[in-house]
Structure 1
Amino acid sequence: MRIKEKFYKETEYLLYNYKMLEISVENMKKEIEYLEKEDEARSISGISYDGFKTGPTFKINSIVEDTLLSISEKISYLEHSIRRMESRMKSINKSMEGLNELEKDILTKKYIEGKQWYVVAYDVKYSERQCRNIRNNAIEKLAIGIFGEIATLLPDDSK
């Protein structure tokens, strides 16, 4: 079965950057911890609005409120990003379960560990050409597992 080129490339991109996705999630979790501590440090027990002039909209802004809102928005954005990245990593992991051990081994060595083809071939005891062919089939399987049937070419697709 052939898949659309963009899904093949996207699958390769995800595999090449898998470690960085993991690292990014960890960094974002640490950033949330830092922002939450910063938020706690800046928290205040009450705000007095006596003496503030209001405009026609009666909107009152203070630097503290703007900062707290900004921290809250940053945390929300980071949490959303973490969920999205973890979801993508779970779909990669789940799709990898559909591959045989040789396919998993070749993809892991080539993309996640970043080894050269001759090293991959030596490790799995196949020729480089065989490894590349196995990789091509495995990437196609993964793309379908990650993106679904949209990744497949329809019979009337010519590109």
Structure 2
Amino acid sequence: MDEYNPGAAPSVARLLLELRGRTTVDVRTVGRALQVRPQGATGVAVYIHPGGVDVAVDPERANEVALSMPGAYVRDPDDPNTVVTLEADLIDENYDVLLATAVDAVELRKTTVKPVKATRAKAAAAPKAPKAAKATTTKRAPAKVEVERPRCPKCRQYELLASGECPSGYC
């Protein structure tokens, strides 16, 4: 954030500290940006980058959230993962609304759980049906029959080529 707006870095640090105080989140660095996710979820709730902050919102509330923060805008209204962007120099002016929106974004993204954990939880919760008895007959693969290829009648060392010639070239 220092490259674009040196005053934005303390605001972002304060935002992260207060967000961690209100919800449980995982913060990951990606290049020079930070991805804030609900703990154990895959969806990014808040994306902090040098140009500002992107906050995930419900698509139906995107315009309402953007209008509540002067200078904020909806990045791509047609994207199913709707994001409201706030430029770095506007963070201090809209701090309280941004913090509340970030907390809502974490709650919104809690529904996107990691697929592996969801599958394990689903498997653990599913009642186990008794297994049927296995059949005692086993199917075996057919035995490979090796075809004896003809050998060279003169040297009897090499197998003949498909053309019928000895590969040695001397016979």
TM-score band w.r.t. shorter chain: under 0.3
**Which structure's CA Rg is the greater one?**
2
The structure showing larger relative contact order (alpha-carbon pairs under 8 Å, at least 6 residues apart) is 1
Give the structure with the larger helix fraction: 1
TM-score (norm 1): 0.23
Give the structure with the larger strand fraction: 2
TM-score (norm 2): 0.21
